Amino acid sequence: MTTAADRSHRHPGYWPSRWPVECGGNRRQKAASGRLDAASGTARTVTRRDGKWHVMVIERDPGQWYLGGTMPAFAGPPPHGWVERIDPDTLEPLASSPDLPCGEHVWCGAILAHANGSVMSVNGSYLHRLDPDDLSIIVERRLPADRSHNGLLALADGTLVTKDLRLEGQGGTTITRLDADTLELIGEPMVLPEGSMGRIAADTDADGDDLVYVPGTEHLWRLRVGADRLLLDDWKPRYRAAYDRVGLSWDACLSDGHCWIMDCGDILSVRRIHQTEPNGRFAAPPGRDLSWRLPAPWDGAQRLFRVSLDDPTDIMAIEPFGTPGGGIIAPPVHVPEAEMAVAWDSVNGGLAGISTVDGGLEVAWHLDIRASMQPIVFPESGELVINDFTADGSDDLVVVDVTTGELIDRTQTGSRVANGMFLTSGGERDVFYCSTLTVARIQWR
């Protein structure tokens, strides 16, 4: 079983940091070191509101925090990406990048702190290497696929890997590997047999070789990283048939020898954004047409899948809620220390703990909240932090006991917009929160 000690962030591709990349690491386990102990403290919130789409916060050196995102320019003037080095106490920028070209695509990209010292940013169809001090552009690269890209990871050999986003019927997804210093392509980009919506995950095998996991429209795909090319592995489990009345998978969580995903992800707002060219650009402001609260375009219930990383035929699934028309905009998490997976249904509401004791999947608890974003887990104290978009339009943060589902604490972020963005552990009993128009830091003292 994986433990907190096994989930060290000292990955050779990253700057030695507690949180150098989205989800805290390539396996996307979202696990923070230390304890939160929210019940023994009082939450203090610092909020900054502006006109930006905030995607994620990462750390480089201790106390050196970067905020990355894009502009929610679905109509009107062209969009661009941006990165800021921020003061963690005020959230105000200490340095800002120039406007970063994105090919006019509007979608949440990614940033990371690389082992070579640079801050990397992928946004739309562009990748940038930035100076960590003033965030000036060192290298700019237009990516081979002229579409939105989501997810950017450093592999153990230091190279970068990213992918474009394609829905069902939009052709095969392009996986691109690049040198982290020059941003030159390494080999030819790989085009998968299917589209892919969710972000990539990665791990190493017993020999230390890199493996990249990609959630496709019907299958999960695993790529082996060769010296100068990416190779399709024979691990290709099918989680969804084309005739299923459910949606596609978002990101995967690699934990305890399994790949964990949820389906029902290509809700109407996601389809509309990625069925336009450039992605997310409209002739007139789309307004409520991009709300994730719209009814799902299928009648299937939300499902959680557990897939063995050793045997692609060993697949288990559960419907934690059983409510027709389920939908999400973020992936699940598995906490091996608690033998518990956590899943949710954003469209209908509901958070669930699914026990994995003795190799099964069984609903252990339900909580009546409406979660939508990428959570954080504190395995040592058994706490999960996630959002709850309330009936009065407040996007709160809640702290939940992973084992029992008890609601430990609730605090307002100051945001009136919920989405599927990232939470980040600050390492000081604090959490950074990102959403459209609002970024916040919540600290328990």
Per-residue DSSP letters for 226-274? -SSSEEE-S---B---TT-SS------EEETTEEEEE-----HHHHHHH
For the stretch 244-287, pLDDT in tens is: 889 999 999 999 999 999 999 999 999 999 999 999 999 999 99
CATH of the domain at 51: 2.140.10.10
Burial class (CB in 10 A: 0-12, 13-18, 19+), 359: exposed
Name the residue range of residue 220's domain.
4-444
Distance (Å, rounded) from C-alpha 277 to C-alpha 59?
Answer: 34
The whole-number average pLDDT for the span 342-346 is 98
List all residues 6 or more positions away from 77 whose beta carbon is below 8 Å from its beta carbon. Answer: none
| Count of the separate structural domains present in the chain | 1
On the question of pLDDT at 21 being above 60, the answer is yes
49, 69, 98, 293, 325 from 349: Cα distances, Å: 26, 27, 39, 10, 11
Strand order in the sheet with 81-86: 93-96, 81-86, 65-70, 43-59, 430-444, 423-425
Give the pLDDT band (50/70/90) at residue 242.
confident
Dump strand ranges (E) for 71-189: 81-86, 93-96, 110-113, 119-123, 126-130, 137-142, 149-154, 160-164, 174-178
For the stretch 377-424, pLDDT in tens is: 999 999 999 999 999 999 999 999 999 999 999 999 999 999 999 999
- What residue type is 329 in one-letter code? I
Taking residue 313's Cβ as centre, other Cβ atoms within 10 Å add up to 8
CB 253 within 8 A of CB 334: yes
Give the pLDDT band (50/70/90) at residue 3.
very low
DSSP for 325-388, written as a single string? S---SS--EEEGGGTEEEEE-TTT--EEEEE-GGG--EEEEEE-----SB-EEETTTTEEEEEE
For tokens 């609601």, what's the residue?
A: 407
Q: Which two tokens stand for residue 349?
A: 């509401």
Q: Which two tokens stand for residue 323?
A: 């409510």
Give the pLDDT band (50/70/90) at residue 7.
very low
For the stretch 355-373, pLDDT in tens is: 999 999 999 999 999 999 9
Give the pLDDT band (50/70/90) at residue 1.
very low
Distance (Å, rounded) from C-alpha 435 to C-alpha 42?
Answer: 23
| C-alpha dihedral, 133 to 135 to 140 to 145, nearest 10° | 120
- What residue type is 94 in one-letter code? L
- 158: phi > 0 → left, psi -120 to 50 → alpha, else beta; which? left
pLDDT at 6: 41
Q: pTM score, two decimals?
A: 0.96
The whole-number average pLDDT for the span 201-230 is 95
Strand order in the sheet with 126-130: 110-113, 119-123, 126-130, 137-142
On the question of pLDDT at 151 being above 90, the answer is no
